[in-house]
Structures are given as structure tokens and as C-alpha cells.
């Protein structure tokens, strides 16, 4: 390794320059100006960050360190492969670690170096929301009193990707170690017991490390509300179950071209059932041979309260039937038929016709009432009909009628019948020849209506 040129000339503190836009690979020995040992705690490692050769403004960014510490080996491409028993370490600072001039302090605290060997990881920056901005791969070779640092290609990855890569490296390393142990056993039988014990220890440590990584991944998933495949499948199944019990487009079950009994399963369980061209047994119809198509909706509270609702069309209008049955007590009462608005309208028309006939008959009866003994007789004066509010029959002869059923005030001879309801409301009826008038008077105010010879 080449030694760094001194960065401490003239009392100026040393630092490590890192350009996020430049890729490269260098490994330098820094023991001459920075010492670290196994178990060190609290040392400050300053970095100066550049972007294409320009000093970055790092205020507001958070420094972090993540990596593995322990033994290692290299592959055919001289890539570093960490041992299975390597320890995982991480550190995160705060925005207070950022200084003017692009400087950020990385603090090697919490005994970042628990064992000799190598530290392979990355130093990087996060924004205020915890999102990774950039990172640079770093390699520390930790000896008893010596530290070497290497810098590899800058990369941009998320935390889950880092965990995945660590898991892959450790798994491959464990497989290689097992294979090597097996080959050594076949080549040298004398060391069988020793090699098996060593391999067992390595496998145990590797399993512990893998378990830690898996547990960390699980905790990360939980703390970041990441939906796993199992959770997604549960949600999808729940949605499908709710849809099949509430959406007529996706019925729970269907029966076609057969006979069904609404007093038996599955028609006693919650759901929507599409019935097509079926004979209905224990339905709201007496004839069970007629085939019908309908929707049956069931809402089951428990075996004692099961609500069944039928939506059916008889060809002219829709029909709605409902009932509540009990499977526990074997109680299956008859169906209630709800009338549609069309049916209500038809019934109202029939009632209206009957009412018209009744009114005509009643008017005929009123014409035959004896008014020879009226409650009062008013003659040859002005008669204001708003003033007569006491129950009785008035005979008004040749009087100037005010507030009567006429467009102008003229003299008339009439019978006035008053029914006082509650002191505020009165009903007045005027008889004049074949003409019949009536009104409801409320607090002395009311509009007249003509009945005889006037269609309703």
C-alpha cells in the first residue's frame, strides 16, 4: 500500500476527500497519522465531500456508517469476501456533525472494532427524512495498532438491498467453508473429528449471524409498515370474502336448473346466492313447480337469528320478500311481502276512485239534511263568514256576504254549517241551491273550494 501524503502540514487537521461523481479504486495506509485499535471508542474520522470537484454544502445532511468487521478472504477477482462470523456494525450521526467547507465528522464510537481483521462497509449521507443520498465503499484493515483504509466504487443503494447483499455473501461463504471441510476430511482422516468440530462452530456462528440479519430484516419490515406477500394475500382474501358477501356481481354461490330448499344449507349462511331457473321449496310462493330466477341475500347473526331476503321480478315489477328464521330452534316462519312503489300507486288509484264515489254519496246525503231549525238566522244585513266560528247551522237570508266563496260581495241566501275543531281551526260548509262550498278556517283565514259539479 502507498502511504498518504501528510495532510497535517502546518497544524491543518487531516481529512478524507470523497467526490460523489468520481469513481475509482485506491487503498492507502494511514497509520502514520491515524491510529485505531481493537476496542477503540470515540475517534473522529473527518470527510470532505465534493461533487465533480466542487465542495458540497453538507449542512442538513446526516452521516452514517454500516459494515461488517472480522476475518476475510479474496476471490479470483481479488474481491473481499467476509467470513461468516464477521460482526455487523452501524452508526448514524446527526446534522450537528456537518460543518462549513463540505466537512462531516464520522465518529467511530460504541467500539466499532470488536476484533482484528477487516472492516468492509460504507460511509454515506442521508437527508433530513432519512433517505440515503449517497455512500462510498470503505475498507479498513484493523490490526493490533494499525488501520488501513480502502475506497471502492461509489454506489447508490437502499438499506434492504445492503441486507440482501450481506445475506448472499455470508451464505455463499458458509457453503464454501462446508465444502472445504468435507474435502479436508476425505483427504486426511486423522483430522476428521477436529475438522467436524471446527466446521460445526463455523456453521453455528454463521447461523447466528444469519438469524441476526433475518431478525433485523423482519424488524425493519415491521417498523416501516412494509406489506409482505403473506400480508398482501391475507388482505386480498379478506377483500374477496367481503366482496362475495356484499356484491351481487360476485355471488357467494349459485344454483342453476335445479330444485333448492331455502330451509337448508347453504342458504342459512351469510352470503349472496344467485338462483337461476330453479324450483323453490319453502319460498314465498305456494307453487313449487314453477321455476324462478332470483337473488337470495342471507345475513346470519347466529344460528338463532338468520335473515333471508329475496329479490325477484314477476315480469311486471320487482318483488321483495323477507323473513327471519332460527336454525337452532328449527323455526321457519312465512315470508313478508314488501309492496313496491308501483303497487302502492295502483292501490292509491283504487282508493281515490272509491273516495270519489263516497264524496258524491255524502253530498247527496247532505242535501237531504233538515235545516228547518238552524242555530241562528241572519237576514237583510252584512254577514262576514270569517266571524262565524261556533259549531252549528246558520240560515243567512238576503245578506251581503263578505269573505264567502264568491269573487265579489253580493246578496245571497245560504245555509252555513260550522264545525269548530279546537278554537283555532273550523270547518265551514256553504249550501246555496245545488252548489256546495267548503273550507278550513285557521285563525280566521281560509280558502274556499267548490265541490258540486266540479271534478276532483
* pLDDT tens track for 150-172: 443 333 333 444 444 555 555 56
How far, in Å, CA of 73 to CA of 142, rounded? Answer: 14
All three cell numbers of 325, joined, read 328464521
Q: What angle do CA 105, 111, 114 make, to 5 degrees?
A: 130
Model pLDDT, residue 283? 92
The model's pLDDT over 324-338, given as tens digits with 9 standing for 90+, comes to 999 999 999 989 988
Q: What angle do CA 244, 247, 252 make, to 5 degrees?
A: 30
Model pLDDT, residue 454? 57
Taking alpha carbons only, the member of 133, 168, 129, 112 closest to residue 49 is 133
Model pLDDT, residue 249? 86
- Reduced to 3 states (helix: H, G, I; strand: E, B; else coil), residue 174 is helix
Taking alpha carbons only, the member of 401, 399, 374 closest to residue 385 is 401
Tell whether pTM > 0.85.
Answer: no
Taking the domain 2-156, which CATH number applies? 2.60.40.3350
Model pLDDT, residue 77? 83
* Strand stretches in 52-204, DSSP E: 54-55, 62-70, 72-74, 80-82, 87-92, 103-108, 117-126, 132-142, 147-151
Residues whose CB falls within 8 Å of the CB of residue 454, separated by 6 or more in sequence, listed in order: none
The model's pLDDT over 362-406, given as tens digits with 9 standing for 90+, comes to 543 443 456 788 988 999 999 999 999 999 999 999 999 999 999
How far, in Å, CA of 1 to CA of 392, rounded? Answer: 127
DSSP 205-230: HHHHHHHHHHHHHHHHHHHTTPPPHH
All three cell numbers of 40, joined, read 477503540
CB 50 within 8 Å of CB 19: yes
Model pLDDT, residue 289? 86
Grid coordinates 476484533 are at which residue? 115
Grid coordinates 465533480 are at which residue? 52
Model pLDDT, residue 209? 78
pLDDT tens for the chain, residues 1 to 456: 344 444 444 555 667 788 877 555 444 334 344 455 666 667 788 889 988 889 999 999 999 998 888 888 888 888 888 898 888 888 899 999 999 999 999 888 766 777 787 888 888 999 888 888 887 777 767 765 544 444 433 333 334 444 445 555 555 666 677 667 667 766 776 676 777 678 778 877 877 878 888 888 888 877 877 877 787 788 778 777 777 677 788 898 999 999 999 999 999 999 999 999 999 999 999 888 899 999 999 999 999 999 999 988 876 777 899 999 999 999 999 899 886 666 666 666 666 666 766 665 554 344 345 678 898 899 999 999 999 999 999 999 999 999 999 988 889 999 999 999 998 999 999 988 888 999 999 998 899 998 866 565
CB 90 within 8 Å of CB 64: yes
Q: What angle do CA 110, 132, 50 make, to 5 degrees?
A: 90
All three cell numbers of 200, joined, read 460445526
Amino acid at each position: 500500500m502507498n502511504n498518504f501524503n501528510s495532510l497535517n502540514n502546518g497544524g491543518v487537521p487531516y481529512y478524507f476527500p470523497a467526490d460523489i461523481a468520481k469513481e475509482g479504486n485506491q487503498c492507502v495506509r494511514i497509520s502514520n497519522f491515524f491510529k485505531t485499535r481493537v476496542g477503540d471508542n470515540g475517534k473522529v474520522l473527518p470527510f470532505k465531500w465534493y461533487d465533480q470537484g466542487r465542495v458540497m454544502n453538507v449542512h442538513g445532511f446526516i452521516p452514517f456508517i454500516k459494515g461488517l468487521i472480522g476475518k476475510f478472504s479474496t476471490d479470483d477477482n481479488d474481491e473481499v469476501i467476509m467470513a461468516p462470523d464477521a460482526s455487523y456494525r452501524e452508526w448514524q450521526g446527526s446534522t450537528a456533525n456537518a460543518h462549513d467547507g463540505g466537512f462531516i465528522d464520522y465518529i467511530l464510537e460504541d467500539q466499532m472494532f470488536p476484533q482484528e481483521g477487516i472492516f468492509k462497509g460504507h460511509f454515506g449521507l442521508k437527508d433530513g427524512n432519512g433517505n440515503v443520498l449517497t455512500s462510498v465503499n470503505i475498507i479498513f484493515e484493523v490490526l493490533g495498532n494499525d488501520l488501513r483504509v480502502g475506497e471502492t466504487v461509489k454506489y447508490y443503494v437502499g438499506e434492504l438491498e445492503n441486507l440482501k447483499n450481506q445475506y448472499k455473501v455470508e451464505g455463499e461463504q458458509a457453503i464454501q467453508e462446508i465444502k472445504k471441510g468435507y474435502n479436508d476430511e476425505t483427504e486426511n482422516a486423522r483430522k476428521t473429528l477436529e475438522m467436524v468440530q471446527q466446521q460445526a462452530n463455523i456453521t453455528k456462528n454463521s447461523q447466528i449471524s444469519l438469524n441476526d440479519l433475518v431478525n433485523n430484516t423482519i424488524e425493519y419490515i415491521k417498523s416501516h409498515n412494509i406489506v409482505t406477500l403473506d400480508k398482501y394475500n391475507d388482505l386480498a382474501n379478506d377483500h374477496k370474502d367481503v366482496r362475495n358477501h356484499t356484491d351481487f356481481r360476485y355471488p357467494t354461490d349459485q344454483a342453476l336448473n335445479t330444485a333448492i330448499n331455502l330451509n337448508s344449507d347453504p342458504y342459512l349462511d351469510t352470503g349472496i346466492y344467485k338462483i337461476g331457473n330453479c324450483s323453490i321449496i319453502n319460498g314465498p310462493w305456494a307453487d313449487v313447480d314453477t321455476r324462478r330466477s332470483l337473488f337470495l341475500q342471507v345475513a346470519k347473526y347466529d344460528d338463532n337469528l338468520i335473515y333471508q331476503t329475496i329479490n325477484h321480478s314477476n315480469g311486471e315489477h320487482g318483488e321483495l320478500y323477507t323473513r327471519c328464521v332460527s336454525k337452532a330452534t328449527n323455526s321457519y316462519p312465512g315470508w313478508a311481502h314488501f309492496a313496491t312503489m308501483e303497487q302502492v300507486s295502483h292501490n292509491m288509484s283504487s282508493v281515490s276512485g272509491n273516495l270519489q264515489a263516497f264524496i258524491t254519496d255524502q253530498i247527496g246525503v247532505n242535501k237531504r239534511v233538515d235545516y228547518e231549525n238552524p242555530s241562528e238566522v241572519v237576514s237583510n244585513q252584512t254577514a262576514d263568514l270569517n266571524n262565524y266560528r261556533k259549531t252549528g247551522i246558520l240560515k243567512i237570508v238576503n245578506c251581503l256576504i263578505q269573505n264567502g266563496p264568491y269573487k265579489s260581495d253580493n246578496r245571497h241566501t245560504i245555509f252555513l254549517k260550522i264545525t269548530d275543531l279546537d278554537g283555532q281551526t273550523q270547518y265551514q260548509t256553504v249550501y246555496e241551491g245545488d252548489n256546495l262550498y267548503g273550507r278550513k278556517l285557521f285563525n280566521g283565514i281560509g280558502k274556499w273550494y267548490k265541490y258540486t259539479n266540479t271534478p276532483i
